[in-house]
Every structure is written in C-alpha cells, then in structure tokens.
Amino acid sequence: MCGDDTKPLTREHALPTWTAGRIPGDGPWTVRLGEGNNAPDGQREDAKLSVVTRTLCDECRSVLNDLEEWAQRNLGQMMDASTDRPIAATPRAQRYAASWAVKTVMMVDLCVPTSVVPQGVRERFFRERAPSDDALVWWAALSDMEPAYWFRRRLITFEQGHSAVYAGLKVGHLGFVVAVRLSEASLELVRLGRMLDGFQPIHGPTLPHAAWPPEARLIDFRQFDDELNTMFAARVQPNGVEPGDAADGSAQ
C-alpha cells in the first residue's frame, strides 16, 4: 500500500472480518466476481467472509488498525441499522468514515481482477492518513440487505480527457460512493455527485454537520446501483472510446 516494496508484506482482509458480524444470518457466503456489466465470471461458496490481499507492511497495518477500531465502534451500528434513532455524525466522524471508505475501496480494488486505483493514490493515502483533496466521498443508508456486500469501481474519462476513479461500496445498510480525480476536473466530480439522490457528502468541498441516515431516509439498493451506473455512463469520451479498464466485483 505505501509503495515500499522492500518491506515484508502480510495478508490482510480487504473486507474486515468484524463487518461479517454486522450482517444477519448464518451459513456460507456466496461470492460472485464479475467484469464490466457481464454476468459474474464465477461464483463460490465460502464458509467465512474471506476477501484477502497481501499488500500491507507493518506500518501500513498499524495505520489501518487504528482506523478499523474506530470504524468498528462507530460504523457498525450503521451497517446493521440496529438503531431506530438518527446517529449524529460530526465533521470529525465524517472524516474518519470517509477515510475508512477510501481505504476499503483501495483494498477491495486489489482483490478483484484489474485494479484501477493508481499506486500513487494509495501511497498518498498512507502518507497523509486521510483522503486527499482530490477525493470526494458520499454515504447513504440502504434499505435492503441484498447483497450483503457489493463493490464496483471504474476508471472514467471526462470529455476533456481528464480522468477519475469512481467506486461504490455497500456493507450491510451502509453505502459509500468514492470518487478520486486523477487530473483536473473536480467540478465534474461535484456535478456527478449531485446526481446521487439521498446521498450525503462526507468528504469534499462542502461538509455540513449531519446525522445518519442522510436526510433521515433509506434508499433502495437498486437505486444505488442504478445511480452509480448512470454516473459511469454519463461522462465518457464523445468518440465512444471506453474509458479505460472497467471491472466489477460483487460479494454477497
């Protein structure tokens, strides 16, 4: 993650094992991985939630451990929606939540075929221990539980030739959209973010004090999926060139 390839690297769960405890039900996990918008390439049953990448040195691991402990204390109740009262989310909590979303997107991106997050983005995150100003993060409260986990990301290119990584991540009832611009065009990202109905920005130019669920409402997972697809489709180069690598992964 930090880019220092002289250090020994260890295995780490990209989807933290504690999150499995926030998902109701028991029995094996059904894992589906797919590319693009095609049907899943494969499906397997796992006894445990196991999405693992070997990319962390001890130093990266300690950065992540601190973030994970915070997330377990604060995001767990959002994932399982165990509260029927709004949860206050201070600007500090939103910053931590955004950090957790960005690091989880980067980790899962390394576990599914064809990583699209540039190494420079990962290195900067671990140097600054927070999402950079180039990143925008939104969150949403999702109403249903299917699938329990879901992940999709894409490298998209704007008409002017600028590019960005967009990703959607769902853990139980908690949904995130992460956008990282790789060149100029931050206005494009903000504009695309406005298409996300029912989402709350938690990292970016505007950071209002907020409560969770955003706007006190749940949105349907299909709406989440549709809006992300619309965003992916909205800004491709006019000559029809596909904007770089496209990859999907979903775990249920």
Q: Which is nearer to Zn ion, 2 or 52 (CB)?
A: 2
Number of residues lying near Zn ion (CB under 5 A): 3
Select the span of 60-68, 90-98, 138-146, 236-244 touching Zn ion (CB under 5 A): 60-68
Q: Dihedral, CA atoms, 128, 132, 133, 136, nearest 10 degrees?
A: -150
The reply on whether position 14 binds Zn ion by CB under 5 A is no
The tokens of 166 are what? 């967009």
Task: Name the one range near Zn ion by CB under 5 A: 59-67, 140-148, 164-172, 209-217.
Answer: 59-67
Q: Which of 60, 148, 178, 185 binds Zn ion (CB under 5 A)?
A: 60
CA-angle at 17, arms to 226 and 217, nearest 5° = 35
Q: Applying CB under 5 A, does 2 fall inside the site for Zn ion?
A: yes
10 Å CB burial of residue 146 (0-12, 13-18, 19+) is exposed
Task: Rule CB under 5 A: choose which of 15, 57, 171, 177 binds Zn ion.
Answer: 57
Which residue, 10 or 83, has its beta carbon nearer to Zn ion? 10
CA dist 102 to 94, 106, 172, 239, Å? 12, 6, 17, 31
Our CB check for Zn ion shows the closer of 57 and 102 to be 57
DSSP three-state, residue 132: coil
- Does 49 bind Zn ion (CB under 5 A)? Our answer is no
The tokens 């950065």 sit on which residue?
A: 63
Q: Which is nearer to Zn ion, 61 or 95 (CB)?
A: 61
What is the rounded distance in angstroms from the CA atom of residue 211 to the CA atom of residue 119? 33
Binding site for Zn ion (CB under 5 A): 2, 57, 60
